[in-house]
């Protein structure tokens, strides 16, 4: 029952996309009707031609030639109608799939970050690409064969009734058997195709993950384990695919068997009727042709039903993605930040990724414009989570975060995020030129502006050594560049945009010490007059911060500048001392011990 509800629900949702192209569907139906009716008219002409042959020497050649001319005209019109029908069906199918893909991709853009964190990227890619292709295949076969099949069945029955209604009753009585067989098998294939689609998505996710992280896999010698996991998923996919294919392949031979019964019944009753003089030999030939044509659509429709089962299973996965709850919408009267001063306040903030585990509880912080706030603490203490909350990648569970006295939940996300410049430990570059990657946040920047930003970030020297300098084309995620070079490009990107607030989350973690010292000086100039949040594990990089927040278990454990925290000889002092031996400390730092 639940499966049937799921299937019917998916079909209703799919109909919303199909309704947009009603006029194309009507045109396709019209051409299908013309094609089917004219195709069914040919056996009538064939029967008349046969009746023109009475016996040896008694052949109406003039009548036969006239019928042949009519046949040629009918065949040409039929071919044109079929071509136009296929054109309409192709447009319907691929426009529907295009719309679904656009909606799915648009939904990914507005999904809350927690959804993307909980689902593998490969699985999402499988839904948008592979599942959409399966929907296209199913719909194309459905529109092409389902329309013509139904019209052919109805038209054939009408023609048979017009010739001899008693023989037509034989056909009608046997028809439900074919429908029952097709329905019985189709109901059992939907679940199998659904499992096949889900497992295909799981396999795509694994492949995407392993290809993206192949260096790590090889470095830790995990090839055998990964192969074993792939074999297990591949084995399940093989099993589900074989089961789905086996049951779906039963449809055609089973319906063909029933259809053979129809043809046999028509042949026997038709022959008896012809002997009794109730119909002519030509009419019997037409009837047998109709009996054969009548059964073909059932075979085609049974194949269509199988493909539609697969298409519905795949469509269900795409539609589930499209109907996911988006991120909390912005207020209609949401404020747009202008001339940001950088006054940031966190008041009684509560947040957790899961209800079962609290992360940040009653967090309070007031940052004045232009202050440099460093955030330190052990792994998992909430440093990156705090950054996510400031950028509103996640919304707080309780309390409020304000920028210039305005709750960020009442500020447009676009204006909030463009007010921050972010440099993260994880770099992100897109396929394109070095110039395009640096200009990502400031599309109107000139080439000279980009070069100045690259010089400020000390990226200019390595860029000039590239084959085409700033016009060098790089692949997704900066293939061919070192991790340090990629991080320098991300720093140059922020230095070009120069936003009023900065977030530096391990911004120099992949850069050599000498270059880091130069970049720290550039950062110091850039941070002048800008509110800055600095997350760092290397405590030597944050000694000049106006205030250092020492976090542990989502709380501020200690707060003060570098010297004050060393004098307290508390948690920060232990962290700092653990990174330096006594001989490495500065003389003034030894005095605090």
The answer to the question of residue 217 being in a domain is yes
Pair (226, 176) in one structural domain = yes
112: containing domain? 94-322
Average pLDDT over residues 526-545: 80
For residue 131, the domain's CATH number is 1.20.1560.10
Last residue of one domain, picked from the residues 289, 322, 355: 322
Same-domain check for residues 371 and 303 = no
Confidence of residue 590 (pLDDT cuts 50, 70, 90): very low
The CATH number of whichever domain residue 576 belongs to comes to 3.40.50.300
Which of these, 313, 192, 311, lies nearest to 243 by C-alpha position?
A: 192
pLDDT of residue 221: 82
Helix (H/G/I), strand (E/B), else coil: 280: coil
Inter-residue contact 588 to 562 (CB < 8 Å): no
Number of structural domains found in the chain: 2
Mark whether 315 and 378 lie in a shared domain: no
pLDDT score for 187:
66
Any domain includes 519: no
The 3 state secondary structure assigned to 71-125 is: HHHHHHHHHHHHHHHHHHHHHHHHHHHHHHHHHHHHHHHHCCHHHHHHCCHHHHH
Does one domain contain both 287 and 214? yes
Nearest-angstrom CA–CA distance, 222 and 210? 10
CA-closest candidate to residue 10, choices 241, 309, 245: 309
Average pLDDT (533-542) is 76
Does the pLDDT of residue 343 top 60, yes or no?
A: yes
Task: Classify residue 441: in a domain, yes or no.
Answer: no
Does residue 81 register a pLDDT over 60? yes
Query: Are 125 and 321 within 8 A, CB to CB?
Result: no
Same domain, 283 and 148: yes
State pLDDT tens for residues 199-228: 888 888 888 788 777 778 887 788 888 888
Predicted pLDDT of residue 183: 67
**Please, what is the Cα angle at 476 between 470 and 482, to 5 degrees?**
65
Whether 62 maps to a domain, the answer reads: no
DSSP 391-455: TTSS--SEEEEEETTEEGGGB-HHHHHHTEEEE-SS----SEEHHHHHGGG-TT--HHHHHHHHH
Q: What is the pLDDT of residues 106-117, one digit of tens each?
A: 888 888 888 887
Question: What stretch of H or E contains 345?
Answer: strand 344-351
Whether residue 314 sits in one domain with residue 193: yes
Question: Average pLDDT in the 287-291 region?
Answer: 74
Give the residue with greater pLDDT, 282 vs 229.
229
pLDDT band of 450, cuts 50, 70, 90: very high
| 102 and 136 both lie in a single domain | yes
CA angle 124, 127, 130 (to 5 degrees): 125
pLDDT band at 179 (very low <50, low <70, confident <90, very high): low
- Least reliable range by pLDDT among 4-18, 76-90, 248-262, 407-421: 248-262
Residues 196 and 293 in one domain: yes
Backbone φ and ψ of 534, nearest 5°? -120, 120
Distance CA 278, CA 166 (A): 11
Q: Is 497 helix (H, G, I), strand (E, B) or coil?
A: helix
**pLDDT higher at 557 or 265:** 557
Per-residue pLDDT, averaged over 156-177, amounts to 75
Q: How many residues does the chain have?
A: 593
pTM for this predicted structure: 0.66
Q: Which of 303, 322, 341 is the last residue of a domain?
A: 322
In a domain, 144, yes or no: yes
List Cβ neighbours of 254 (8 Å cut-off, separation of 6 or more).
181, 182, 185, 302
Q: What's the Cα-to-Cα distance from 99 to each of 2, 18, 359, rounded to whole Å?
A: 28, 10, 40
Indicate the average pLDDT of the chain.
Answer: 81
Judged against a pLDDT cut of 60, whether residue 572 lies above it is answered with: yes
CA 163-166-171 angle, 5° bins:
90
Are 398 and 349 in contact by the 8 Å Cβ rule? The answer is: yes
115 and 230 in a single domain? The answer is: yes
Shared domain check, 374 and 309: no
In this structure, the number of other CB atoms found within 10 A of the CB of residue 276 comes to: 8
**What's the rounded Cα separation, in Å, for the pair 466 and 480?**
10
- CA distances (Å), 482 to each of 213, 423, 467, 487, in order? 15, 16, 15, 9
Average pLDDT of 391-411? 90
- How much is the average pLDDT of 504-532? 76
The residue that leads in pLDDT, 345 or 208, is 345
DSSP assignments along 176-188, one per residue: HHHHHHHHHHHHH
Q: How far is CA 257 from the centre of its chain?
A: 42
Contact 590, 582 (CB under 8 A): yes
Closest CA to 477 of 467, 496, 490: 490
Q: Which of 274, 299, 322 is the last residue of a domain?
A: 322
pLDDT, tens digit, 9 for 90 and up, residues 305-341 = 767 777 888 888 888 888 888 888 888 888 888 888 8
C-beta of residue 391 within 8 angstroms of C-beta of residue 471: no
Residues 297 and 359 in one domain: no
Rounded average pLDDT over 36-45: 81
Strands 406-407 and 398-403: what pairing?
antiparallel
> Given a cut of 80, is residue 398 above it in pLDDT?
yes
The answer to whether position 195 is within a domain reads: yes
Is residue 185 located within the same domain as residue 274? yes
Return the percentage of the chain with pLDDT > 90, whole number.
7
Whether the Cβ atoms of residue 128 and residue 104 lie closer than 8 Å to each other: yes
Residue 584 has pLDDT above 60, yes or no: no
In a domain, 107, yes or no: yes
H-state helical runs in 19-60: 22-51
Q: Which pair of tokens denotes residue 123?
A: 């699985």
Question: Average pLDDT in the 497-521 region?
Answer: 77
Which of 379, 363, 423 minimizes the C-alpha distance to 575?
Answer: 379
Distance separating the N- and C-terminal Cα atoms of the chain: 73
Which positions ≥6 away from 593 have C-beta within 8 Å?
569, 577
Report yes or no on 7 lying in a domain: no
């Amino acid at each position: 029952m639940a499966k049937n509800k799921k299937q019917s629900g998916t079909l209703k949702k799919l109909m919303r996309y199909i309704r947009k192209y009603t006029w194309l569907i009507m045109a396709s139906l019209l051409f299908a009707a013309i094609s089917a009716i004219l195709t069914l008219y040919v056996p009538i002409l064939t029967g008349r031609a046969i009746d023109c042959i009475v016996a040896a020497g008694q052949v109406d050649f003039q009548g036969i030639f006239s019928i042949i001319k009519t046949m040629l005209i009918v065949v040409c019109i039929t071919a044109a109608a079929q071509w136009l029908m296929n054109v309409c069906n192709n447009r319907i199918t691929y426009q529907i799939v295009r719309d679904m893909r656009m909606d799915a991709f648009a939904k990914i853009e507005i999904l809350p970050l927690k959804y993307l964190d909980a689902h593998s990227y490969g699985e999402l890619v499988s839904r948008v690409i592979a599942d959409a292709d399966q929907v296209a295949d199913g719909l194309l076969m459905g529109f092409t064969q389902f329309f013509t099949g139904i019209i052919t069945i109805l038209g054939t029955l009408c023609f048979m009734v017009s010739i001899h209604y008693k023989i037509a009753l034989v056909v009608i009585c046997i028809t439900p058997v074919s429908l029952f067989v097709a329905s019985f098998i189709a109901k059992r294939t939907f679940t199998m195709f659904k499992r096949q689609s889900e497992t295909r998505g799981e396999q795509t996710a694994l492949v995407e993950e392993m290809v993206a992280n192949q260096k790590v896999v090889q470095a830790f010698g995990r090839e055998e384990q990964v192969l074993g996991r792939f074999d297990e998923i591949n084995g399940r996919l093989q099993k589900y695919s074989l089961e789905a294919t086996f049951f779906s392949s039963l449809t055609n031979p089973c319906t063909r068997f029933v259809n053979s019964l129809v043809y046999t019944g028509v042949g026997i009753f038709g022959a008896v009727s012809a002997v009794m003089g109730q119909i002519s030999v030509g009419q019997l030939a037409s009837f047998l042709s109709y009996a054969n044509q009548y059964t073909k659509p059932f075979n085609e429709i049974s194949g269509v039903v199988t493909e539609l089962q697969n298409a519905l299973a795949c469509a269900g996965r795409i539609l589930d993605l499209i109907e996911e709850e988006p991120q909390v919408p912005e207020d209609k009267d949401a404020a747009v930040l202008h001339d940001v001063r950088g006054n940031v306040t966190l008041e009684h903030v509560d947040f957790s990724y899961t209800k079962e585990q609290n992360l940040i509880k009653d967090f309070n912080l007031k940052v004045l414009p232009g202050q440099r706030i460093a955030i330190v603490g052990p792994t998992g203490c909430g440093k990156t989570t705090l950054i996510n909350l400031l950028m509103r990648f996640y919304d707080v569970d309780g309390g409020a975060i304000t920028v210039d006295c305005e709750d960020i939940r009442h500020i447009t996300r676009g204006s909030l995020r463009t007010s921050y410049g972010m440099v993260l430990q994880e770099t992100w570059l897109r396929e394109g030129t070095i110039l395009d990657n640096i200009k990502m946040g400031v599309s109107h920047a000139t080439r000279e502006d980009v070069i100045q930003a690259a010089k400020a970030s000390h990226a200019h020297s390595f860029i000039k050594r590239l084959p085409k300098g700033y016009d060098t084309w790089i692949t997704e995620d900066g293939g061919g560049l070192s991790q340090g070079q990629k991080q320098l490009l991300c720093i140059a990107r922020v230095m070009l945009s120069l936003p009023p607030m900065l977030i530096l989350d391990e911004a120099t973690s992949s850069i050599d010490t000498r270059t880091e010292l130069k970049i720290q000086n550039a950062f110091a100039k850039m941070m002048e007059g800008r509110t800055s949040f600095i997350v760092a594990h290397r405590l030597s990089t944050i000694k000049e911060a106006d205030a250092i927040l020492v976090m542990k278990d989502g709380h501020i454990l200690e707060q003060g500048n570098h010297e004050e925290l060393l004098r307290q000889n508390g948690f920060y002092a232990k962290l700092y001392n653990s990174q330096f031996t006594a001989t490495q400390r500065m003389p003034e730092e030894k005095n605090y011990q």
